[in-house]
Amino acid sequence: MAFTIVVVILTIIYLAVLELSKNIIIGWVIGIIIAGAMIGVRFYLKKKGANTKGRLALCWLGFFVLLGANLFITSPPEKRVPAVDNKNPEVTEAVHVNEGDLTGVYNEDKSVAVYAGIPYAKAPVGDLRFKEPQPAEKWDGVKKCDEFAPMAMQSRSNTLYDSLSHILGWHDYKMKLGDEYIEAMSEDCLYLNVFVPEGYKGEKLPVLFYIHGGSLNSGHPSYTEYRGEDLAKRGIIVVNCAYRVGVFGYYAADDLKAESPNGTTGNYGLLDQIAALKWVNDNIGAFGGDPGQITIAGESAGSSSVNAICSSPLTEGLFNYAIGESSSILAYKPYHSFISYDEAKEESNSVREELGVKTSAKLRDVPAEKLVNTSMQKKTNAMTVDGYALTEEPYKTYERGANHEKALLSGFNGKEADVFMLGYEVNADNYLEILRKVVGDYAEEMATVVPANTPPRDQHIFIDALGDAKAATDIVYSAAWFSYSHYLWSNYMIAQNRPSYEYYFTKENDIITDYHAGELPYMYGNLWRHPGLYKDDDYKLSDIMQQYVVNFVKTGNPNGEGLPTWDMQNANNKKLIELNTEIKMVDDPNIAVYNVIDKYQLSEKDKSK
């Protein structure tokens, strides 16, 4: 009896592993059969009455070997994600773009048509790896655009680990049939998605062009938190795109620069985004969109990319307004997403050294699966001055007033860096050492502004476990890595007499709360995808935030009837709008921190002279 109980308990644990690993259903059946066979063999040996100790040991070995083999053999296949959640969606009428005719699908209530997986450039494979994106090829017939295209090549976590993170971190894991797959991934990734409100017959609609985040080494446009269905229902067209990331998107080398007709290298992911934006300008009219009324938007590394697009000489006239969430690259020495060309070459050299190749041409022969797993994949994730997409550091472009956005809506969250700091052991003894990593010789001054015993600003789940200086460190790092960049961006816009509206998102909830990316499902209207985890006041805030975005896309001003007033910033008013249950204008809580960072950045600039 005890033996049977042990086998049953192990089988239940095993089935849980199969569920969390998204193994196909036949794996469950095989696992149960293996467990039943184990129990049957045990009873057979016991009935024989012979000495079963040695044989039973072999049975246990076979049991675990078979379970392990089953886990591997029935692992989830790759699959493209459907464009809409409803099964057997109705197909749209054909739309004609420059490359050919295509159809999309309607969501469940037919309020939005989704055209997913539209190629905007040739597949960047073979000889096109590490080259500027080339125009998409034309096709015959009608292309079905009812599934999201594969995500760009990137390192991704084990499926079991990913499921556990949704249980322990996001709290949104669901057991259901039909999710026994992992999202397709390919080097052939240059596709975009278009979300169009159905039934609109008036003037051409304004367009929101969204760039996903992911530290420039991960991410994909099919992610549910920024799908465009709900924003589209409010009378705009939403477009998002994939682009090359990691070593595929930001590898830089002089031999590539020499072979390029544009003398460029190191910004392939950025050039992909620009190519997608150009495609939208050329084709969005076919979907009812206005190419003269495009707003570019992005979060995290996507926001850094928006900032780069605003600075690029290749994008003048391609858009009107910009929305930036939780990043830019406007510091003299940005903390992430941007490095000097020499640094970019040095990091890229290590990729060749690791793989034992001497030229970039030889690197094109390395299988994508091998290249994406190099130890340097996560280090080749920064834009640089290539002389083509970016001809100077972005702060210089803004100093000259040569940036392209006519109005800016940007901001940051309450606890931006907290999750990124989980690996840091922080206490009062090493607090200064930790601060030196962000402000150098100004660590002591920063410690007087934010002492090690500073209490957390609001509810915080990490403080007790990670040291009594953790709250102070999180405040400084959140400011340095994320919110400082918006302070700079807003100040440049104010100096140029261009409209600037800045937010401070502090709404807590039962899922990602106000950590990095916590604003995304509010701003893009996807709270409903997490039933039970958001409350009525969350949906009310999301409704307001979405309307702010839609108004801004339409007019360059987020304000509108029935909304709390969002004051435009100017030399005498640099307040932010706090987005919480109560929406109000507040002072930036990080000004004293920024003042110290300013000194550090100026000192770094002086050193370079």
Residues 6+ apart with CB under 8 A from 495: none
Q: What is the pLDDT of residues 547-576, one digit of tens each?
A: 999 999 999 999 999 999 999 999 999 999
Q: If pLDDT is split at 50, 70 and 90, which confidence band does 54 have?
A: low
> Which residue is it, tokens 């049977």?
4
Q: What is the pLDDT of residues 472-489, one digit of tens each?
A: 999 999 999 999 999 999
Q: What is the pLDDT of residues 450-464, one digit of tens each?
A: 999 888 766 544 444
Average pLDDT over residues 142-166: 92
| pLDDT at residue 231 in the model | 98
Q: What is the mean pLDDT of the chain?
A: 93
Separation between Cα atoms, residue 539 and residue 545, nearest integer Å: 10
Alpha helices in 403-461 (DSSP H): 431-439, 443-449
Separation between Cα atoms, residue 295 and residue 323, nearest integer Å: 7
Checking if the pLDDT of 289 tops 70, the result is yes
Separation between Cα atoms, residue 515 and residue 494, nearest integer Å: 27
Q: Which run of H or E residues covers position 522?
A: helix 520-523
Q: If pLDDT is split at 50, 70 and 90, which confidence band does 50 have?
A: low
